[in-house]
Structure 1
Amino acid sequence: MEEEVHWIEEVLSGNKQAYAHIINKYKNPLYATILRMTRNPQNAQDLVQEVFIKVYNQLGKYDRNGIFASWMYRVAINHCMDEFRKKSYQMKQVEINEEKVVNTNHPEIIFLKKEKSRQIERLVSTLPEDERMIILLRYINELSYDEISELVEVPLSDVRNKLHRAKKKMRDTVKREGGYFYELSEGR
């Protein structure tokens, strides 16, 4: 965090090149989050660029006592939600290229991992926007309940309730349709 504050102070004092450090650190996690929101790689790239411009322009508003990543994700989510409302955003189902499987090239393992990943993507995409957002922030971005509550500006109890409801809906879908997720279907 000290490093981020240093970069922010550098940018605010006129060293615009220091912003590249922030972009490099957050471009991939931010893109992953927005891609899961939009399910469209091109739209996600455009939104990431817009978010970085917005963060740059609002850098002076960042309260250095808070966690920078949480503040930046709040700016990103708010920007995306504004864009979704403006454009009546339609989520399109687009297959997301998964990362290569680590240390194995066996075709069956690759197939099963891709299939599991596709099923998770499909399950998450069926959730209402607010529940999908909380699932993504919790399990993809690994934010705590408190960080999610602060980020999406809802009470902690609502975060817990929405997360519980979302997982229940996903479990129910797996039970109803079948699938690979023993851990979901057993209520874990």
Structure 2
Amino acid sequence: MEEELQWIREVLSGNKQAYAHIINKYKNRLYATILRMTRNPQNAHDLVQEAFIKVYQQLNKYDQKGSFSSWIYRVAINHCMDEFRKKSYKMKQVEINEEKIVNTNHPEVVFLKKEKSRQLERLIATLPEDERMIILLRYVNELSYNEISELIEIPLSDVRNKLHRAKKKMRDTVKREGGYFYELSKGR
């Protein structure tokens, strides 16, 4: 955190090169989040670039009350949501490059991991946009309920309710259609 504050101070005092440190630290995490929101690699890439421009322009508004990572996610996600509204964004299904996910060589294990990953991606893709975003922020980006509430600017109770509804919808889908996610169907 102190390192980030130093970079912010340097950027605000005119050292634009210091911004590269912020980009390098957050580019992969923001891209992963936005890719799961858009389901389109090119759109995700464009939105990440635009989000970093927004972050740069609004860097002087970071008040250090919350974590910088929460703040940067909020700026990026708000930018994406604005773009979705403006362009009536249509989410497109794409296959995630599973070669990066799987690192064991046993053929059966590789197959099962790929299949589980595909099924989970499909389950998440069936959720409404707001619930999908909360699932991704909670379980992919490992943000707390409070951070999610702060990030997308909804009450904490709404975060809990939407997360509960999203998991219930996913459990119901698994019960109805079957699949690998036995633990989901048992309500855990």
For normalisation by structure 1, the TM-score amounts to 0.97
State the shift of 1:100 in Å: 4.1
- Structure 1: how far apart are the matches of 2:109 and 2:183? 19
- Structure 1: how far apart are the matches of 2:90 and 2:4? 35
Q: Work out whether 1:10 is the aligned partner of 2:2.
A: no
Identical positions, percent: 86
Q: Note closer, same or farther for the CA distance 1:100–1:152 as it changes in structure 2 (3 Å cut).
A: closer
- The one-character-per-residue Cα deviations of 1:65-93 (angstroms, maximum 9, x if unpaired) are 32111111111111001111111111111
- Structure 1: how far apart are the matches of 2:148 and 2:166? 15
- Structure 1: how far apart are the matches of 2:185 and 2:111? 21
- Structure 1: how far apart are the matches of 2:102 and 2:134? 26
Pairing 1:166-181 to 2, within 5 Å after superposition: 166-181=166-181
- Structure 2: how far apart are the matches of 1:160 and 1:58? 29
- Structure 1: how far apart are the matches of 2:53 and 2:169? 36
**Which residue does the alignment assign to 2:141?**
141
Counterpart code for 1:80: C
Pairing 1:43-82 to 2, within 5 Å after superposition: 43-82=43-82
Aligned length: 187
- Structure 2: how far apart are the matches of 1:73 and 1:61? 14
* SS at 1:142 equivalent: coil
Which 4+ residue blocks in structure 1 deviate beyond 6 angstroms?
none
- Structure 1: how far apart are the matches of 2:117 and 2:127? 16
**Which residue does the alignment assign to 1:19?**
19
- Structure 1: how far apart are the matches of 2:151 and 2:71? 7
**Which residue does the alignment assign to 2:97?**
97
For normalisation by structure 2, the TM-score amounts to 0.97
**Which residue does the alignment assign to 1:121?**
121
**Which residue does the alignment assign to 1:109?**
109
| Structure 1: unaligned runs, 5 residues or longer | none
* SS at 1:58 equivalent: helix
Counterpart code for 1:26: Y
Counterpart code for 1:85: R
- Structure 2: how far apart are the matches of 1:81 and 1:100? 27
- Structure 1: how far apart are the matches of 2:138 and 2:128? 16
